[in-house]
Structure 1
Amino acid sequence: MIPTLILVLACIHAAVLEEQYVIPDNIDVDEILKNDRLLKNYANCVLEKGSCTPEGERLKKAIPEALQNECAKCNDDVRQKARKIIHQIIEKHPDLWKQLEAKYDPNGDYKKKYKELIEKEGLQI
């Protein structure tokens, strides 16, 4: 299972439908990753530095639960896209990664919890 940290720090949009986190069809993860303005807007939402779209607001509300329960409500699509996004953010936006870590894992508890999975993904954080 991809760690919940990936979901959270990737800044993907999620909606809670039928007790699962999903990425709505109208959200193009690749487009967000290619567009610094869009990525910044979504990051500002989850970092509480800016306004949120309805999807961003749902993500922001889901983050604490997702971190606690290892993203038990994530489907395979979310896990696959989250993996892609987290790699992109770490490689291309390390400052954003640090901000997200500071907000959602200030004591490093989740980093420790998901250490094995982070290493398996080959992430250098």
Structure 2
Amino acid sequence: MKAFLLLPFVVAVVLAYKDVDDNFDFEAMVKDPVALKKNMNCFLDVEPCTPTMAKYRNHALEAVTDGCKECNKLETHTLRVLLQGLFDTYPDGYIAFKNKYDPTGTHFDALLKKLKNF
């Protein structure tokens, strides 16, 4: 019985991206238009990325196409915060992100539906 109680925790740990910094403060970053634009440009391959943001960018395509299936709860929340920040502050950047990571338009709506809960 105790093994079954630990199973959800083990699954959550296994599904998280282990190379990203889950302590990065995306909430603060999206409130700073200069930082948000710099990081948006990183995701769009317009500007170089910081080492931290490069790790997130490396998982962006997979997160969009599989609905953030490999993300833990914090990473899922982080993606929601990032996309909402882009949508609110840089709508053109949001559209560019959407087009870059879901050029066929087949995954983004499902991703947004999942992110709504985070």
TM-score relative to the length of structure 2: 0.69
Q: For residues 16 and 101 of structure 2, what CA distance do their matches in structure 1 show?
A: 21
- Would you tell me which structure has more helix in proportion to its own residues? 2
Is structure 2 residue 64 aligned with structure 1 residue 64? no
Question: Which amino acid letter does the alignment assign opposite residue 24 of structure 1?
Answer: D
Larger RCO, structure (CA 8 Å, separation 6 or more): 1
Provide the residue aligned with 2:22 in structure 1.
24
Question: Structure 2, unaligned stretches of length 5 or more?
Answer: 1-12
Partners of 2:96 and 2:69 in 1: how far apart?
A: 25
| Max Rg structure | 2
Report the secondary structure of 1:49's partner residue: coil
1:31-42 equivalences under 5 Å are 31-42=28-39
Determine what percentage of the aligned residue pairs are the same residue. Answer: 25
Bigger proportion of residues as strand: 1
TM-score, L = length of structure 1: 0.66
Moved more, 47-56 or 58-67: 58-67
TM superposition shift of 1:42:
0.8
CA contact 2:67–2:107 (8 Å) conserved in 1? no
In 2, Cα distance between equivalents of 1:116 and 1:80: 11
Q: 1:66, CA displacement in angstroms?
A: 2.1
User: Which residue identity is paired with 1:99?
Assistant: A
Pairwise CA distance, 1:23? 4.4
TM-aligned CA distance change 1:45 to 1:64, over 3 Å: same
RMSD: 2.7
